[in-house]
Chains A and B, each alone.
Chain A
Amino acid sequence: MTTNVVTATAPPGSEPILANYQLRLSSYEGPLDVLLRLIERSQLDIEDVSLVAVTSQFLAFVATLDTAPSFVIADFAAVGGRLTVLKSRSLLPRPVVDAEEPEQSDLTHQLREYRRIKDLAKNLGAAHARGLSAFGPAAGGAVVRPLAGKPSRLGPHDPSSLVRSIRRRLTIIPRQPEVVRQRRVISLRDLVARVAEHVADSSDARFGQIVSGFHTRTDVATAFLAVLVLIRRQSIDASQGDLYGEIALRPGLGAMLTDPSADDDAFVN
């Protein structure tokens, strides 16, 4: 497990960092693994103080991951963030509290847990390498004639067990990522332009006409918002005869109807 742990070049004035990501791929199992090795290499115990001591080394290592897949970087960045919080806490003066149990971070706890699992995994690996396995019966037992009329326990090779077994094998094949078709979203900016155009072109523009082809509440609400934006700009005027009645739209005093891109409403973007 300690093979390929590489101490790389030490940048001037900094602690030595670990090797680059290409070496990591074959050597490390993730951010906790890297952190654990940094601590062990520094011959420290797993404590918050030790974590603070190796924070800059860890962050230097994360900085070498720029070509790694984003999900790998995300795992490392998450741990890097937690380390930074720990370090900042240790640097900033804090009010003196009653000296109770020493505060221990989640990360320290997680690291201890991980080290135990790693030790256990190491021992399982050694046990596996010794090959002291047990073997079970390959197939059914003796061939006997089942009692007449009674279902037999014999015959383990039934189709359902075969199907189960094939299914299990198939789970190892990576699946194609599911492609989710997303409905086209009509933006507020588009709608502002569309409403403005509609009102300019039509002598009897009504809100109901604009939203007649819309199927979702969001689209209708966005259209309404577009109308409000245009009223605010004084591009259009709106009137409503009755409560819940049709909203009539007509060109307003502003003369910017045909140039929706010139809007100064920050939130339309």
Chain B
Amino acid sequence: MSDRTAQLALEGAGEPVAPEDLPALIEALLLVAPEPPTIADLAEAAGVPADQIEQAAARLGDESGRGLIVQRQGDHLHLATSPRFARHIASFLGLDREGKLSPAALETLAIIAYQQPVTRADIDAVRGVDSSGVLATLHARELIEPVSRLAAIGNPFQYGTTVGFLRLFGLASLADLPPLGMFDGAEGGALLDQAMAGSTATDTDATSHSGVNG
């Protein structure tokens, strides 16, 4: 993987890029990469340490005048359009609005987003009802996926959110979700609005909310 990244960077592979050029290079690499590269891939292609890539990606997101954002799912970076232009883009692509998510689906999605990785039993325990049907629907819509197996009897799947989830809600990373404790009533709604409006920054610690548990 990293060899090929270096090949794509062609002649300049391995030569350190000037810090001010890094965001532009990341954007360029993300544009041509047919599969979302990891931060390590990009670091190798740019010839800089991984933390510089993270900082540069965050800088890229801070530039509000752009039409693109960088989304972080695990170690992978994805290029996506700014949520500000969602309506224009949907109309340009001729996309219909996707079907509304049911309250059950939203509840399940919320549990997974905030407590991932979680098993179906964890979700059932919070909701007090069986969630297998809802999980299948969310999986088919590519909003969640099995990410691991719990080391317990039966080795149940543990679910996490996908990049499709980030896209649907226009978030740059899971770290953009407001902390669970702050989510009370209208205040929480305002926070999410804020997160979505400003979801341009790629957080340097996308996993900081994993395992948040009220």
Q: Are B83 and A116 in touch, CB under 8 angstroms?
A: no
**Residue numbers in B under 8 Å from A118 (CB-CB):** 107
Q: Are A114 and B110 in touch, CB under 8 angstroms?
A: no
Interface positions of B from 60 to 116, Cβ below 8 Å from A: 69, 71, 78-84, 86-87, 89-90, 93, 97, 100-101, 103-104, 106-107, 109-111, 113-114
Q: Which residue of A lies closest to B115 (CB)?
A: A117
Q: Are B196 and A132 in touch, CB under 8 angstroms?
A: yes
Question: A123 and B192 in contact (CB under 8 A), knowing A134-B83, A153-B4?
Answer: yes
CA distance A142 to B31 in the complex (A): 8
Q: Are B103 and A29 in touch, CB under 8 angstroms?
A: yes
Interface positions of B from 106 to 161, Cβ below 8 Å from A: 106-107, 109-111, 113-114, 125-130, 133, 136-137, 139-140, 142
Q: Which residue of A lies closest to B114 (CB)?
A: A120
Q: Does B19 contact A (CB under 8 A)?
A: no
Q: Are A128 and B126 in touch, CB under 8 angstroms?
A: no
Kindly specify which of A13-21, A50-58, A166-174 makes contact with the partner chain. Answer: A166-174
Q: Are A31 and B192 in touch, CB under 8 angstroms?
A: no
Interface of B is mostly: helix
Interface size on A, residues (CB 8 A): 52
Q: Are B106 and A132 in touch, CB under 8 angstroms?
A: no
**Residue numbers in B under 8 Å from A154 (CB-CB):** 34
Question: A31 and B35 in contact (CB under 8 A), knowing A131-B90, A132-B86, A136-B163?
Answer: no
Could you give, for residues 100-142 of chain A, a 1 whenever the CB lies within 8 Å of some chain B CB and a 0 otherwise?
0000000000100110111111111111111111111110111
Q: Are A135 and B214 in touch, CB under 8 angstroms?
A: no
Q: Are B189 and A135 in touch, CB under 8 angstroms?
A: no
Q: Does A10 contact B (CB under 8 A)?
A: no
B106 in complex: contacting residue of A75, A124, A141, CB < 8 Å: A124
Kindly name the residue among A1, A141, A150, A174 whose own CB sees the greatest number of chain B CB atoms within 10 A: A141
Kindly name the residue among A121, A131, A144, A154 whose own CB sees the greatest number of chain B CB atoms within 10 A: A121
19 residue pairs A–B, Cβ–Cβ below 8 Å: A30-B127, A30-B128, A79-B128, A110-B125, A113-B126, A117-B111, A121-B103, A123-B189, A123-B192, A127-B192, A128-B169, A131-B97, A134-B80, A134-B82, A136-B167, A141-B32, A151-B4, A168-B140, A171-B140
Q: Can you name 8 extra interface pairs (CB under 8 A) apart from A135-B81, A136-B79?
A: A113-B126, A116-B183, A118-B107, A128-B101, A150-B3, A153-B8, A171-B139, A172-B139
- Which residues of B approach A to under 8 Å, CB–CB? 3-5, 7-8, 31-35, 69, 71, 78-84, 86-87, 89-90, 93, 97, 100-101, 103-104, 106-107, 109-111, 113-114, 125-130, 133, 136-137, 139-140, 142, 163, 166-171, 180, 183-185, 188-189, 192-193, 196-197, 199, 214
